[in-house]
DNA sequence: CCGTGTTCTCTTTTT
DNA sequence: GAGAACACGG
């Protein structure tokens, strides 16, 4: 591109772009595709077609010749989003957009992009290219060792707290030395934390390893310490685009900042064909960020909502485009979403609208137990499926992973095909981590953590005492543990143990030779499995679970083979990198005919015809843990908002009167956020009021529309779609939310007992099911018919 | 050193 | 209610 081209585009801001690229876009979206300038902020409400805008923007840059694929860097939140974007761009421009090869554009996550940069530039920051990426469990293990060494958990420094604190420092780009300079030496806890942080950092260094947060932070440090390295990437990436910008943390923000800095004249090569400015330097790359502060749900991970709210301040010449038209959901769903989110103050005013019409009402249901709630979900899914909704278009969301259990129980019993996205992942299974540890140790012999994991797996008689002896020897020689294995003969250990250690050393050496010679992950893994006897040991036991473990390890072998097939050039390192960075959503297969179960967090960015949002209860949504933190309740509300806006046609909100956690069950109350939805939008199959005081099966017509509650709370929403409010009717369950739930204590009933209910009068207990607080009595009333009542909280007395 | 049985923590969300 | 950490006996 010549200087003249650049100028003309910058001035009139309207490049000549093939009309077909703009097909079907509304004026705002067109503007977002076509604007040319230093920086662009696209505030994209949920479902406003931002992926479409982003892909067309990239395609238009390529099609008009303003950019070559090489000059594009697009950052997404997940690998799945990256793949999808790459495919769509490819489809639009009709040519290769392969980010894997260095000739293509980079469309990847923050973490993948940084690993690519760091593997190339590893020496500069004192690492070897084969560095290990520690996942949270690995970091936790290392921290745990250190905490134990220092006996630090005595003063509230548990591994979990320390891990969170270290992560926080790194996300704020505060390294150990910076932290040390500002530490309050009078506070023993802070001093202890500093020492842990120091040893943790040293431990990672020694192991030639980086944790998740390091991937970003170290790249920023690299760019700041070596301007000529930064210039390499600044010259290359002339167009930087960031998706889900609201969830970037400070380190990620700094990374973008470094990448888009103007390039100083001394870093501009003589022969550049790019447009230099008056001083001989190059202007910074153009930056496009897309985000929605209403969907910021990762503050706990350091995401800084200010990054988007204050974007215009940080990049003063920024153009802002607001996308409010929603192409995903029905008006009913959007009304609910708008009403909920409008309770958050301090936000960019935004109101989603659609032209598709109001659609179905939102369906609500209150179960007696988590199991009962799950049964409702399963029944409705069966009905939807019968009516023609494919399973893959149905999703069930929940706040915490522990809520999956009753859902799984019922789904299995109902024969519904489902897949849990995230949760206990394949790669977190012990046997997989064992096999992976062999591979990691081969790729990175300095990784003591990986070696310790496999030292005695499978059992070869190397216990804690032997490990300590090896470690002592390694420390004395100042070498990694791995190098100590070869010296086992000098350590005065038993002949059997010595033999075992030397065998292991030999096996690892052989595998390392394969790796150095460019061997494939699959071949190396097979050699390691055969040589170590890991599979044989699992096959030999009588533990029935080991059968599944064998299958899992075999599955891992297929994964390595599959990886080699898809990436012919990839070796062991590429395989390990990919595994380390897989995200929950990457597991979703679009073709599969299964229902997707996932947390609200992993639901972000996805959409389904029918969405079930379960566990809409106090202490769950908002989660109990969130109420203590500043902004916690607002973030939980955004989480609820994200969940609602995933639904295209049907939305189901459900909760339960009781919830079991920790083994025993407790009474749950409806979420405060339910009150924020205009009551007329929800058709309660069984409202919280029905479930507590009326025993269920209340005629639906009474619940359907027109309760006056809610409006009093002062939120604004379009009333046009609703019928006029009838004269004030008793608010069905408002008081139940803030007021106390009735509690019958240890009242126990059994079949044959006679009871009196405040609404239904006298009746006889037919049967009692469930345990403890969950027990339900089936009662035949003299006048009201048969009802199911939750014994602990129903308004009843024993006669 | 290994297996078994017991107690104790733990659940927020994740790249 | 599960998984990890610890204690104890072989």
> Closest nucleotide to A430's CA, by C1' atom?
C3
Instruction: Give whole-number Cα distances, A201 to A133, A140, A167, A192, A208, in Å.
Output: 14, 13, 12, 14, 11
* A90 within 8 A of A97, measured Cβ to Cβ: yes
Q: How much is the pLDDT for A735?
A: 32
Whole-number distance in Å between A143 CA and C7 C1': 25
Query: A567-582: buried (b, 16+ CB within 10 Å) or exposed (e) per residue?
Result: eeebbbbbbbbbbbbe
Q: Is the CB of A626 under 7 A from strand B?
A: yes
Instruction: Convert the pLDDT of each residue in A422-460 to its tens digit.
Output: 766 778 888 888 999 999 999 999 999 899 889 888 888
Whole-number distance in Å between A250 CA and B12 C1': 22
pLDDT of A492 strictly over 90: no
Q: Is the CB of A383 under 7 A from strand C?
A: no
Name the band, by pLDDT with cuts 50, 70 and 90, for residue A162. Answer: confident
Name the band, by pLDDT with cuts 50, 70 and 90, for residue A590. Answer: low
Instruction: Convert the pLDDT of each residue in A525-550 to its tens digit.
Output: 999 999 988 888 888 776 667 777 88
Give strand B nucleotides closer than 7 A to any protein Cβ.
1-3, 10-15
A745 alpha-carbon distance from chain centroid:
40
Name the band, by pLDDT with cuts 50, 70 and 90, for residue A276. Answer: low
pLDDT of A741 strictly over 70: no
Place of tokens 């700094």: A254
> Closest nucleotide to A171's CA, by C1' atom?
B15
Token pair recorded at residue A707: 């309760």
Q: Is the CB of A663 under 7 A from strand C?
A: yes
pLDDT of A395 strictly over 80: yes
Q: How much is the pLDDT for A745?
A: 64
Give strand C nucleotides closer than 7 A to any protein Cβ.
1-2, 4-5
Please give the average per-residue pLDDT across A301-316, as a whole number. Answer: 76
As a whole number, the mean pLDDT across chain A is: 82
Q: How much is the pLDDT for A717?
A: 28
> Closest nucleotide to A628's CA, by C1' atom?
B12
Whole-number distance in Å between A198 CA and B7 C1': 33
> Closest nucleotide to A586's CA, by C1' atom?
B15
Angle between helices A212-225 and A110-121 (to 10 degrees): 50
Classified as helix, coil or strand, A764 is: strand
**Angle at the Cα of A777 from the Cα atoms of A666 and A756, rounded to 5 degrees:** 105
Instruction: Convert the pLDDT of each residue in A615-626 to its tens digit.
Output: 999 989 889 888
Q: Is the CB of A461 under 7 A from strand B?
A: yes
pLDDT of A558 strictly over 80: yes
Whole-number distance in Å between A456 CA and C10 C1': 20
Please give the average per-residue pLDDT across A143-159, as a whole number. Answer: 79
Mark residues 125-144 of chain A whose C-beta is closer than 7 A to nucleic acid strand C.
Answer: 144
Percentage of chain A lying above the pLDDT 70 cut: 85
Q: Which of A96-110, A122-136, A692-706, A770-784 comes out lowest in average pLDDT? A: A692-706
Name the band, by pLDDT with cuts 50, 70 and 90, for residue A393. Answer: very high
Question: If we measure between CA atoms, which residue out of A37, A6, A33 comes closest to residue A18?
Answer: A33
Whole-number distance in Å between A497 CA and B2 C1': 14
CA–CA distance, A738 with A118 (Å, rounded to integer): 53
Please give the average per-residue pLDDT across A296-318, as a whole number. Answer: 79
CA–CA distance, A99 with A447 (Å, rounded to integer): 29
**DSSP state for residue A344 in the 8-state scheme:** -
Count of CA atoms in the C-beta half-sphere (13 A) of A135:
17
> Closest nucleotide to A662's CA, by C1' atom?
C1
Token pair recorded at residue A394: 């149905």
Enumerate the β-bridge partners of residue A796: A757
* A393 within 8 A of A381, measured Cβ to Cβ: no
pLDDT of A636 strictly over 80: yes
Of residues A350 and A298, which shows the higher confidence score?
A: A298
CA–CA distance, A262 with A221 (Å, rounded to integer): 18
Whole-number distance in Å between A584 CA and B14 C1': 9
* A209 within 8 A of A447, measured Cβ to Cβ: yes
Q: Is the CB of A135 under 7 A from strand B?
A: yes
Of residues A75 and A65, which shows the higher confidence score?
A: A75
Alpha-helical runs (H) found in A478-580: 481-485, 495-516, 521-532, 534-540, 544-566, 572-580
Please state, as a whole number, how many other Cβ atoms lie within 10 Å of the Cβ of residue A618: 20
Q: Is the CB of A724 under 7 A from strand C?
A: no
pLDDT of A114 strictly over 80: yes
Q: Is the CB of A697 under 7 A from strand B?
A: no
* A385 within 8 A of A391, measured Cβ to Cβ: yes
Token pair recorded at residue A147: 């905490």
Q: Is the CB of A100 under 7 A from strand C?
A: no
Q: Is the CB of A548 under 7 A from strand C?
A: no
CA–CA distance, A647 with A394 (Å, rounded to integer): 9
CA–CA distance, A473 with A361 (Å, rounded to integer): 70
Active site residues of A: 50-51, 243-244, 295, 646
Name the band, by pLDDT with cuts 50, 70 and 90, for residue A390. Answer: very high
Rg (CA), chain A: 30
pLDDT of A287 strictly over 60: yes
Please give the average per-residue pLDDT across A272-281, as a whole number. Answer: 69
Q: Which of A279-288, A543-552, A646-655 comes out lowest in average pLDDT? A: A543-552
* A69 within 8 A of A62, measured Cβ to Cβ: yes
Q: How much is the pLDDT for A731?
A: 35
Q: Which of A236-240, A479-483, A686-690 comes out lowest in average pLDDT? A: A686-690
Please give the average per-residue pLDDT across A331-357, as a whole number. Answer: 87
Question: If we measure between CA atoms, which residue out of A772, A722, A732, A769 comes closest to residue A750?
Answer: A769
Q: Is the CB of A345 under 7 A from strand C?
A: no
Question: If we measure between CA atoms, which residue out of A589, A605, A603, A582 comes closest to residue A112?
Answer: A582
pLDDT of A734 strictly over 50: no
Q: How much is the pLDDT for A369?
A: 85
pLDDT of A7 strictly over 60: no
The H or E element spanning position A150 is helix A136-150
Q: Name the residue closest to B9, CA to C1'.
A: A662
Q: How much is the pLDDT for A737?
A: 33
Q: Name the residue closest to C3, CA to C1'.
A: A430
Q: Which of A54-58, A269-273, A667-671 comes out lowest in average pLDDT? A: A269-273
Angle between helices A521-532 and A495-516 (to 10 degrees): 170
Q: Is the CB of A80 under 7 A from strand B?
A: no
The beta strand positions in A163-208, using DSSP E, are: none
Q: Is the CB of A430 under 7 A from strand C?
A: yes
Q: How much is the pLDDT for A11?
A: 38
* A496 within 8 A of A531, measured Cβ to Cβ: no
pLDDT of A308 strictly over 90: no
Of residues A728 and A602, which shows the higher confidence score?
A: A602
Question: If we measure between CA atoms, which residue out of A748, A565, A740 comes closest to residue A669?
Answer: A740
Of residues A482 and A315, which shows the higher confidence score?
A: A482
Please state, as a whole number, how many other Cβ atoms lie within 10 Å of the Cβ of residue A117: 20
The model carries a pTM of 0.81
Whole-number distance in Å between A399 CA and B12 C1': 8
Strands A664-667 and A658-661: antiparallel
Q: Is the CB of A257 under 7 A from strand C?
A: no
Number of H helices, E strands in chain A: 31, 22
Whole-number distance in Å between A370 CA and B6 C1': 31
Token pair recorded at residue A571: 């070796």
* A602 within 8 A of A585, measured Cβ to Cβ: yes
Of residues A337 and A493, which shows the higher confidence score?
A: A337
Token pair recorded at residue A563: 């990886």
Q: Is the CB of A247 under 7 A from strand B?
A: no
Q: How much is the pLDDT for A702?
A: 29
> Closest nucleotide to A109's CA, by C1' atom?
B15
CA–CA distance, A536 with A559 (Å, rounded to integer): 20
> Closest nucleotide to A660's CA, by C1' atom?
C1
Whole-number distance in Å between A16 CA and B15 C1': 38
pLDDT of A380 strictly over 60: yes
Whole-number distance in Å between A592 CA and B13 C1': 26
Q: How much is the pLDDT for A8?
A: 35
Give the number of residues written for chain A. 799
Q: Which of A189-193, A229-233, A697-701 comes out lowest in average pLDDT? A: A697-701
Q: How much is the pLDDT for A692?
A: 63
> Closest nucleotide to A148's CA, by C1' atom?
C5
CA–CA distance, A435 with A732 (Å, rounded to integer): 57
Q: Name the residue closest to B13, CA to C1'.
A: A601
Task: Work out the end-to-end distance of chain A between its first and last CA atoms, rounded to an integer number of angstroms.
Answer: 89
Q: Name the residue closest to B10, CA to C1'.
A: A662
Q: How much is the pLDDT for A273?
A: 65
Q: Is the CB of A662 under 7 A from strand C?
A: yes
Name the band, by pLDDT with cuts 50, 70 and 90, for residue A211. Answer: very high
Q: Is the CB of A212 under 7 A from strand B?
A: yes
> Closest nucleotide to A599's CA, by C1' atom?
B13
CA–CA distance, A654 with A691 (Å, rounded to integer): 12
Whole-number distance in Å between A464 CA and C4 C1': 17
Q: Sign of the CA dihedral A355, A356, A361, A363?
A: negative
Query: A355-376: buried (b, 16+ CB within 10 Å) or exposed (e) per residue?
Result: eeebbebbbbbbbbbbbbbbbb
Token pair recorded at residue A465: 């005492």
> Closest nucleotide to A424's CA, by C1' atom?
B14
Instruction: Convert the pLDDT of each residue in A16-37 to its tens digit.
Output: 667 777 888 899 999 999 999 8
Whole-number distance in Å between A453 CA and C5 C1': 17
CA–CA distance, A182 with A165 (Å, rounded to integer): 15
Please give the average per-residue pLDDT across A108-136, as a whole number. Answer: 91
Name the band, by pLDDT with cuts 50, 70 and 90, for residue A695. Answer: very low
């Amino acid at each position: 591109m010549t200087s003249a081209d650049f100028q003309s585009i910058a001035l009139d801001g309207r490049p000549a772009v093939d009309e077909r690229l703009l097909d079907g876009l509304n004026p705002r979206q067109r503007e977002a595709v076509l604007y040319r300038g230093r920086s662009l902020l696209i505030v994209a409400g949920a479902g406003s077609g931002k992926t479409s805008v982003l892909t067309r923007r990239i395609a238009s840059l390529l099609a008009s010749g303003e950019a070559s694929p090489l000059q594009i860097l697009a950052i997404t939140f997940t690998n799945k989003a990256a793949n999808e974007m790459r495919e769509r761009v490819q489809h639009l421009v009709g040519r290769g957009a392969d980010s894997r090869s260095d000739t293509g554009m980079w469309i990847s996550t923050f973490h993948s992009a940084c690993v690519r940069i760091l593997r190339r530039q590893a020496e500069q920051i004192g690492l070897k290219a084969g560095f290990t990426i520690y996942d949270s469990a690995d970091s936790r293990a290392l921290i745990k060792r250190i905490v134990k060494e220092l006996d630090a958990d005595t003063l509230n420094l548990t591994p979990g707290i320390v891990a969170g604190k270290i992560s926080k420092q790194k996300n704020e780009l505060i390294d150990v030395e910076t932290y040390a300079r500002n530490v309050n030496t009078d506070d023993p806890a802070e001093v202890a934390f500093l020492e842990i942080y120091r040893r943790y950092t040293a431990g990672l260094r020694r192991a030639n390893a980086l944790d998740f947060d390091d991937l970003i932070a170290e790249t920023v440090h690299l760019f700041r310490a070596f301007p000529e390295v930064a210039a390499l990437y600044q010259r290359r990436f002339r167009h930087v685009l960031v998706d889900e910008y609201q969830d970037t943390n400070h380190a990620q923000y700094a990374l973008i900042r470094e990448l888009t800095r103007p390039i100083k004249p001394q870093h501009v090569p003589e022969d550049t064909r790019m447009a230099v400015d008056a001083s001989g330097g190059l202007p910074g790359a153009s930056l496009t960020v897309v985000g929605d502060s209403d969907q910021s749900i990762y503050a706990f991970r350091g995401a800084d909502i200010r990054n988007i709210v204050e974007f215009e301040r940080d990049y003063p010449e920024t153009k802002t485009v607001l996308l409010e038209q929603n192409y995903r959901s029905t008006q009913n769903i959007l009304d609910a979403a708008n009403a909920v989110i409008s309770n958050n103050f301090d936000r960019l005013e935004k109101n989603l609208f659609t032209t598709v019409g109001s659609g179905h009402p939102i369906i609500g249901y209150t179960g007696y137990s988590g199991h009962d709630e799950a049964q409702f979900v399963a029944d409705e899914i069966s009905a939807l499926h019968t009516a023609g909704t494919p399973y893959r278009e149905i999703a069930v969301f929940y706040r915490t992973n522990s809520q999956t259990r009753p859902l799984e129980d019922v789904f299995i019993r109902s024969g519904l095909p489902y897949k849990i996205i995230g949760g206990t992942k394949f790669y977190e299974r012990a046997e997989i981590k064992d096999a992976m540890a062999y591979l990691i140790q081969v790729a990175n012999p300095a990784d003591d953590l990986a070696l310790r994991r496999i030292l005695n797996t499978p059992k070869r008689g190397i216990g804690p005492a032997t490990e300590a002896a090896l470690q002592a020897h390694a420390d004395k020689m100042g070498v990694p543990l791995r190098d100590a294995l070869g010296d086992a003969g000098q350590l005065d250990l038993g002949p059997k143990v010595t033999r075992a250690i030397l065998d292991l050393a030999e096996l690892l050496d052989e595998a390392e030779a394969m790796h150095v010679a460019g061997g494939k992950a699959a071949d190396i893994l097979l050699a390691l499995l055969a040589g170590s006897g890991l599979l044989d040991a699992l096959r030999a036991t009588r533990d029935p679970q080991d059968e599944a473990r064998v299958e899992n390890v075999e599955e891992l072998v297929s994964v390595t083979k599959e990886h080699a097939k898809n990436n012919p050039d990839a070796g062991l390192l590429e395989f390990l990198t990919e595994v380390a960075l897989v995200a929950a959503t990457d597991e979703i297969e679009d073709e599969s005919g299964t229902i997707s179960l996932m947390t609200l967090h992993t639901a972000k960015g996805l959409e389904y015809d029918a969405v079930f949002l379960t566990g809409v209860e106090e202490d769950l949504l908002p989660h109990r843990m969130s109420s203590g933190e500043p902004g916690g309740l607002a973030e939980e509300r955004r989480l609820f908002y994200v969940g609602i806006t995933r639904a295209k046609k049907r939305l189901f909100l459900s909760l339960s009167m009781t919830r079991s956690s920790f083994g025993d069950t407790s009474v749950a109350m409806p979420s405060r956020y339910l009150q924020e939805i205009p009551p007329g939008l929800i058709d309660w199959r069984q409202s919280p009021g029905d479930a507590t005081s009326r025993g269920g099966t209340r005629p639906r017509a009474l619940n359907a529309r027109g309760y006056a509650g809610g409006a009093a709370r002062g939120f604004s929403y379009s009333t046009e779609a609703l019928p006029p409010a009838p004269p004030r009717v008793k608010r069905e369950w408002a008081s139940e939310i803030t007021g106390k739930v009735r509690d019958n204590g240890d009242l126990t009933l059994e079949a044959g007992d006679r009871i009196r209910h405040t609404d239904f009068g006298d009746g006889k207990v037919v049967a009692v099911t469930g345990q403890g607080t969950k027990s339900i009595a089936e009662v035949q009333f003299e006048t009201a018919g048969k009802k199911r009542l939750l014994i602990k909280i129903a308004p009843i007395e024993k006669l």
